[in-house]
Amino acid sequence: METRNFTPTDSLAKPMEETKGTSWKSIAAIAFLLLVVSLVLNYFFFNRWKEFREYKDKYQALLVSQNSIQSANKARIEQLEQSLDIMQDPAVMKVKMPGTKLSPDAVATVFWNTQNKQVYLKVNNIPEPAANKQYQLWAIVDGKPVDMGVFEMGDTAKLLQKMKITDKVQMFAVTLEQKGGALQPTLEQMYVAGKIPG
């Protein structure tokens, strides 16, 4: 019978090989698990980052819109304050222009500064013109019509509009003309007219 010498390394070799194989499998499994967790977290945080960017863009757009509205409101308030200053100036004469037979409900008001001769127009109630038409203000000076300029309607009409200067006038009138105005008024298209008081 053959005898075999037993050495301590023989008994340790097999378990160490098994342990080595098992530890690499465990490390590989843990690494794979970490990779999966990392991918899931990356996906989750990427989606949160995208949502954050969308909210940030919406916030920026709202901020720009709010600043624009504030600027427009500030400009409007300044215009209203200027209009109020002009109307309250003791040198300014108020000339009311009621509607004619063509438009009985129409009303406009001229504010004429008798010192610096500047004329301002306030549209109280005049119908909106067709797209190819525009209202024109006239000053009647020594019985003759003098062009004082065309004016805007819509929101602008609610404020005082600066017109041309005149140093003497007996009457103001508004006619409807082709866009850009006319050299002579179309009398059958006169919407409002008012004499200088006194």
Together in a domain, 172 and 135 = yes
* Residue 118 included in any domain: yes
| Co-location of 106 and 46 in the same domain | no
**Given a cut of 60, is residue 20 above it in pLDDT?**
no
Strands 133-141 and 107-113: unpaired
Residue 2 lies in a domain: no
The Cα 40–Cα 35 span in angstroms is 9
Please tell me whether residues 127 and 175 are part of one structural domain.
yes
Rounded to two decimals, the pTM is 0.64
In a domain? residue 4: no
Arithmetic mean of pLDDT, 71-83: 81
Is 51 within the bounds of a domain? yes
State the residue range of the domain holding 190: 90-195
Do 97 and 187 sit in the same domain of this protein?
yes
**How many CA atoms lie less than 13 Å away from 130 in the CB half-sphere?**
5
Domain-located, residue 99: yes
Tens-digit pLDDT profile for residues 42-76: 888 888 888 888 887 888 888 888 888 888 878 88
Listed residue (137, 155, 153, 135) closest to 145, CA to CA: 137
Question: What average pLDDT is seen over the chain?
Answer: 84
Examine the domain organization and report whether 133 and 179 are in the same domain: yes
94 and 80 co-located in one domain? no
Q: Is 154 exposed, middle or buried (0-12, 13-18, 19+ CB in 10 A)?
A: exposed
The domain total for the chain is: 2
Q: Which one of 70, 88, 106 terminates a domain?
A: 88
